[in-house]
Amino acid sequence: MESLSLNFLANRELLRIIFISLIIFGILYLLTMPFKNKRFIIILTAIYAFLTFYDLGSSKSPETFYEVTKNNSHVIIELNDENRSFDKIYAFSLEGEPVNSDYRYQIYFRDIVIEASNDLKNWAYLTTLDDEEWGKWCVKELPVSYDFRYIRLTFPHNYGVINEIAFYDSENRYFLNTSIYEADDETYNPQNLIDERDCILADFDYQNETYFDEIYHVRNAYEIANNLPLYTAVHPLLGTRLIALGIKIFGMNPFGYRFFGALTSVIMVPLFYLLIYFLFHEAKWAKIGALLFSLDFMHYTTGRIATLEPFSLLFILLMYLFMICFMHLNYLKKLKKALIFLGLSGLSMALAWATKWTGIYASIGLAICFFFKLYQVLKNTKDKQKVKKTIIVLLFCIIFFVILPLIVYVLVFQGIYIYDTLPHNIIEAIKQVIDYTEYMFTYHSGLESTHPYSSKWYMWLLDIRPIWYYVNRLGDNIQTISCFNNPAISLMGLFAVIYTLIKTIKKTDKQNIIIVAAYFSSLIPWIFISRTTFSYHYYPCIPFLILAIIYFFYRNKKERLLKIFLVLSIILFIAFLPAIGGFMTKQFYVSHIIRFLPSWYFG
């Protein structure tokens, strides 16, 4: 099946995915027969969950580690097979514990010299482990095949970490059996170097190691999960805490650190359905919107990598969902209920702020929606208590939209070693957070590094430059992951946003003001930001781009165009699935068939 799917459909997994998706559809269709109104979103969410978690990441990865505490210490490994030939050395490094003053963070291999011998007297130099990539496999290909009984690892510094090391015979495709012969530094168990052989694969991919910005976010999460000093973090820490929770539950492996991001991505599908339903009051448009959201490339790709974007967008959607519920009410008549929705919106906004600063950008649109509602109510009522009740609402908002977000923002840093010591009181805690926030601002405002796949805000509107996350080439086949939008949704969405903006200028209603405020509050700040930017920064705009599409078709009953657009979106999602999901495909396919623009590059 895999060979047929790869050679005829340019996606090794597509036939299996379609087959399992049809089974899921059939089973859930039968089980949801009594729930016709809910059947669609249950089935869509289940299939999307399957696609998101399919080949998400391995649940096995080397976790135990060996580190040294003194200079020029060594470990000798004995090869126990009769045939001891090997031509590759595999090694994996995460992070150890800071046990000396020379280096605060115990990471990377740090110039570890590897030598070999048959008599423990005469040693031949093989290679040096000096790679500095966190949570990635290092493979050293040797110039010839060697046959030695003993391997010596010499650590020149009193820092350096190895989680696992193995010796591979490429001809027989076999990892040699090993044991620890000698170690002159046993502060940490030397056996940890070779105790997780079942985690080693000769051919590994994104499912077995970190890729792109995971080396930063997952490292922070690992440090939080293990109470280690925090490596430089440049975002608030709520999302990182959620990644850390996945590590605590499932272990320090790709499935563990990607789990909650993937789950969040899945949860947003029915959540977006509810948001559209509350905004347009028709299940038809809610179904179409949820389907489009699940067909967007960026939503899919971003849910499968352990970064902060899914968590940030979840809270942004929640804060707008509750604000929409508030806007449906006349707070002068239903004050308590209105305050509940405002409180939930404010809490969601607080969580968004504590995840990523894009939540602050989105809050500008939220404020526009709130004051628009106040203006509408006050303009159209003669209630004698309108001033009193409005003051109550405003005071309530100060608590939930100003004070609460600041409190949550401070609390999310607590218990984490962002500096060498934890704060002793609330004053110290606030000071640490202020200092660290200043550092984060300085970092982002001064980030001017060049990147071959960076893009400006105006390029996002037309899908001009995807960001390339990952590649693994195997002859004529390739695994690649790029992050950008479904072209059909991008182009139709841009037209729909312009249409919605024009409608808002001519006559403002509740629906178009929410769409315009939410979309542009997440986009406009990037116009004035000079730092290096990427296509994924457009992600918070995508749900509201889709809302604009729904608004266009809602106002203009163009059923034939809608059907063509939906079919095209589905076809493009299937066609680009290997390029956004990392599934094995043909090099020719990604280089020529789906490369619509010269600025697109998939490997």
Q: Please check whether residue 53 lies inside any domain of the structure.
A: no
Domain interval for residue 145? 66-199
Both tokens of 30, joined, read: 């039968």
**Would you say the C-alpha torsion 12, 13, 19, 21 has a positive or negative sign?**
negative
Task: Dig out the tokens for 118 from the structure.
Answer: 């048959």
Determine, yes or no, domain membership for 226.
no
Cα-to-chain-centroid distance, residue 108: 23
Give, to the nearest 10 degrees, the angle between helix 254-280 and helix 283-295.
150
**118-122: average pLDDT:** 93
Q: How far, rounded to the nearest angstrom, does the alpha carbon of residue 350 sit from its chain's CA centroid? A: 20
Is residue 321 domain-resident?
Answer: no
**Residues ≥6 apart with Cβ < 8 Å to 499:** 548, 551, 552
Q: Please indicate, yes or no, whether the overall pTM of this predicted structure exceeds 0.85.
A: yes
Model confidence at 439, pLDDT cuts 50, 70, 90, reads: confident
For residue 497, give the nearest of 473, 524, 532, 528 by alpha carbon: 524
Q: In terms of Cα–Cα distance, which of 233, 207, 200 is closest to 89?
A: 200
- Residue 107 is classified by DSSP as B
Residue 116 has pLDDT above 70, yes or no: yes
How many whole angstroms separate alpha carbon 55 and alpha carbon 582? 9
Task: Tell me the CATH number at 140.
Answer: 2.60.120.260
How far is it, in rounded angstroms, from Cα 365 to Cα 343?
17
> What pLDDT does 101 receive?
55
Query: d(Cα 573, Cα 557) in Å, to the nearest integer?
Result: 25
d(CA 542, CA 269): 13
Q: Is the dihedral of CA 146, 151, 153, 154 positive or negative?
A: negative
pLDDT tens sequence across 366-421 = 999 999 999 988 887 777 788 888 999 999 999 999 999 999 999 999 988 888 77
Write down how long the chain is: 603
| Domain-embedded: residue 465 | no
Domain assignment present for residue 146? The answer is: yes
List pLDDT tens digits, range 29-48.
888 878 777 899 999 999 99
Q: Quick: pLDDT tens for 236-264.
A: 999 999 999 999 999 999 999 999 999 99
d(CA 435, CA 445): 15
User: What is the count of structural domains for the chain?
Assistant: 1
Asked if 20 and 249 touch (Cβ cutoff 8 Å), the reply is no
The token pair that represents 361 in the structure block: 């950008």
Distance CA 466, CA 483 (A): 6
Q: Is residue 79 part of a domain?
A: yes
